Structure formats: C-alpha cells, structure tokens
Structure 1
Amino acid sequence: MSSTFFLVRHAIKEKAIGDVSITTEGNLQAQLTARWFCNLQIAAIVTSPLKRAKETAEPIAIKTNATVSEDSRLRERANWGDLPEQTFEEFIDMWQRCTRDPEYIPPVGDSAKQAGERLCSLLLELSKNHPTGSNIVLVTHGGLITDFLVQSFSEDQLNVWHPNFVAVQSNLVPECSITRLSYVSGHFELGSFASVEHLKP
C-alpha cells in the first residue's frame, strides 16, 4: 500500500487576529501552486477549516477538478484569537513554549505532540481509504507540518533537509511551500521538504 501526500502550507495571510483571509499576494501564490498541481492526477484535497487554508485550496481544486473536504485535524496547534484577550506577544510566548516542549499542553489548542499525532492519524486514514498510488493534497499550516515531521522522523533524517532542523523548525515552512511525503509499506518517507520552486517566475 502506498500513497503520496502533498502537504501545502496556506498562502500569505492578513496580519490580524482570528480566522483571517489570504492577501492579494497570497492569492497569487495559491494560483501558482494550483498551476503546479494541474499536471498531476489528484485523488482528493483535504483542507484545514481555517479561511487561509480553504482559500488556498480553492484554486487547486479548480485546476485539478478534485473534490475538497475539510478536516479539523489539519488545523494549526493553536491560532491567535482562540484565547480571548490574548495579546500577540502572549501567543508567541505560548507557541514557543509548545515548540520547546512538545508535551506541554497550552491553555488553548493542542500540544505539539497532540497536533502531530492528529495529522498522522489523518494521513493513515487517507492512505487506507484511497487506492494504492493515489496523490492527495492537504492544505494546512506550517507548524502542523513540522510538528508531524519532528515526531515521525529522527533528528538525523531531518537534518538532511536543514541543519538543526528541530531547533529552527518554526522558520522552515514558507507560505505555499510543498512538502512531499509518501506512505509505503507501513512507514513514511520524506521526498521533498518545503519546496517553493513552483512560486518562482
């Protein structure tokens, strides 16, 4: 049994609290990303329920004629605005503590470990429910991608993609980057990480 997953971080979003949309520049990124996928046969697109992810997934669906579904397991571990009256500085402090200590459960959202586990559960479910050889796009968030990778691969494996991967993980996944992951014979293989080649003119 094998499936190929394309983990897409959402496009550039508005700098504001809550469930924000993507910007004009982000929309261009989403269109370029959709163009890259149009030459692949996509079995399904699954997106985080947050606006920035859904708006990134929409042009991919149009270009590939694939159906989009939402799954809360693709949500970020926490979103600024989930905790009433939390300042941005307080949110960043909470985020950084979660990154340093994957077991730490914040006052809102999930620990890094819990977030990575829920993405893993979705990947396994999708692999089971789709035919061998399926290409599946997941539009999600940068932190969730690295939460999953840090738990699923050894530090040595991850350092192939970037030195000190674990220490600098929060800065490694640009908007609309594509990480290609395969699930083959019961284990995950990382084919590419945070590629942005498709965004270049």
Structure 2
Amino acid sequence: MGTMFYLVRHAIKAKAAGDVSITPQGVLQAEATALRLTGLPITAIFASPLQRAQETAKMISAYTKASLTVEHRLRERANWGDLPGQSFDEFVEMWERSTRDPDYIPPVGDTAKQAGLRLAGFMAELAGSFPQGSHLVLVTHGGLITDFLVNALSEQELNAWHPTFVASQSELISECSITTLTYDGGVFQLVDFASIDHLKS
C-alpha cells in the first residue's frame, strides 16, 4: 500500500525579493487546491517555512481539517533576497547555473542535488513515521519538487511525463499544481505530475 504524497507548489506570490505573501489570485488558487484535496483522506500537512507556502498550506489545512506542521527541510533551494544586494537577474543566473549543474555550490542556498536529497530524505522519514496508507501533503516550491524528482527518478521515467524533463524542469511546475507519488519499500513512483485540473474553471 505504501504512503501517498501530494507535493503542492505554493500559490502565486508577490513579485518582490524576500519572504513575500501570495497574491489575491494566489488566494483563489490555494482555495481551489484545498477544495481538490478535501476529497482525499489527508492524514497531515507539512509546509515550507516561507510565507507563501505557509499561507497556501493554511488554506488546505482549514478545508481538510488536517494538522499543519512547518518543516525547514521543505524550503526552496534558494530564495531571491537571501543574498543581500543580489538583483533578480543575478538570482536567475545563479539559479539557472545550479539547475544545469546539480553539484554547483551557489553563494547562497543549497546545490540542486543537496536540495533534492533533502526532500527525499524527509519523505522517507515521514513514510516511516506514519502508518501504511497515509496521505501526506507537502506544500513547498517548484524548484525543490523538480530537484527531488531529478534525483529520485530515472530520466526515462521523467521523460514519460515530459519529453525533455531535465532540460525543461524550471518551467514544468505551475503554482498550486499537485504532483502525486507513492513511496513503498524504499521506492518512489510518480502517479501524477504537476496537475492543474483543479485550477481550471
């Protein structure tokens, strides 16, 4: 039976440096995502410490009545504003270099490989802490989700969902998309990737 994981990217955030909130449109996205997840037997919710993820997760918690825990290991690989004085263009350049080279050590944050392993380790830990068949929601960031997938699954498996997954990874995870996986016997299996059907009106 294993454990079901729902990896949710936070809702649309304000376009500014630092730990920003979600926008009014993001609030509507978070509500639609919460409504989608109310149809599932959610056991618990975990969220990145960044405000945009917590705000999204609180909406899901309010609708599903599942407990919410803030978890540092769900933070993004790096966040614009973490490095004082870094322009947005400089941040994007750093991000893209880290994506191309998973072992590149950026001036702030983690390598892409470190970030992916961090999420994989946390998910494995959760699977061992909750009963078999639990349904766990992790509200996090698009970059961390793809960092995890690129590390945890083969390129062949990923290309079944998108033909150039590794090359295109930065464009694949929309805000409030839901990526569903099972974890059983130490193996992750991708069930549904970056679904946004619940956001379509």
Whether TM-score is above 0.5 comes out as: yes
Query: Percent of pairs identical after alignment?
Result: 61
Deviations 1:153-196 (A, max 9, x none): 11111001111100010000000000001001220000000000
Find the aligned partners of 1:148 and 1:92 in 2 and give their Cα distance.
20
- Map of 1:20 onto structure 2: 20
Cα distance in 2 for residues equivalent to 1:123 and 1:182:
10
Deviation at 1:88?
Answer: 0.4
> How many Å apart are 1:116 and its aligned residue?
0.3
Give unmatched runs, 5+ long, in structure 2: none
Q: Is the 8 A contact 2:12 2:23 kept in 1?
A: yes
Query: Quick one: distance in 2 between partners of 1:191 and 1:32?
Result: 21
Contact map agreement 2:48 2:140 (CA 8 A) in 1: yes
Aligned equivalents of 1:59, 1:109: Cα separation in 2 = 28
In the alignment, the residues of structure 1 paired with residue 40 and residue 179 of structure 2 have an alpha-carbon distance, to the nearest angstrom, of 15
Q: Which residue of 2 aligns with 1:199?
A: 199
In 2, distance between residues paired with 1:80 and 1:59? 24
Give structure 1 regions of 4+ aligned residues with deviation exceeding 4 angstroms.
none
Partner of 1:182: 182
CA distance in 2, matches of 1:185, 1:88: 42
Using the TM superposition, give the Cα deviation of residue 152 of structure 1 relative to its aligned residue in structure 2, in angstroms: 0.9
Counterpart residue identity of residue 21, structure 2: S
Q: Is the 8 A contact 2:47 2:54 kept in 1?
A: yes
CA contact 2:124–2:186 (8 Å) conserved in 1: no
- Kindly state the Cα deviation for residue 147 of structure 1 after the two structures are TM-superposed: 0.2
Q: 2:13 touches 2:26 (CA, 8 Å); kept in 1?
A: yes
- How many residue pairs were aligned? 201
Shift of 1:84: 0.4
TM-score scaled by length of structure 1: 0.99
Q: 2:52 aligned with 1:52, yes or no?
A: yes
Output the CA distance in 1 between the equivalents of 2:7 and 2:167.
21
- Taking structure 2 as the reference length, the TM-score comes to 0.99
**Per-residue deviation at 1:104?**
0.6
TM-align CA RMSD? 0.7
State how far apart, in whole Å, the 2-side matches of 1:131 and 1:79 are.
34
Counterparts in 2 of 1:121-132, with a 5 A limit? 121-132=121-132
Q: Secondary structure at the match of 2:165?
A: coil
2:33 match: 33
3-state SS of paired residue (1:28) = helix
Alignment partner of 1:6 is 2:6: yes
Describe the SS at the equivalent of 2:166.
coil
1:155 & 1:22 partners in 2: Cα distance?
32
Residue 166 of structure 1 aligns to a residue whose secondary structure is: helix
Cα deviations by residue, 1:74-94 (Å, 9 ceiling, x for unpaired): 100000000000000100000
Specify the SS of the correspondent of 1:108: coil
Output the CA distance in 1 between the equivalents of 2:157 and 2:41.
Answer: 29
Q: Partner of 1:80: helix, strand, or coil?
A: coil
User: Where does residue 106 of structure 2 map in the other structure?
Assistant: 106
| Equivalences for residues 78-157 of structure 1 within 5 A | 78-157=78-157
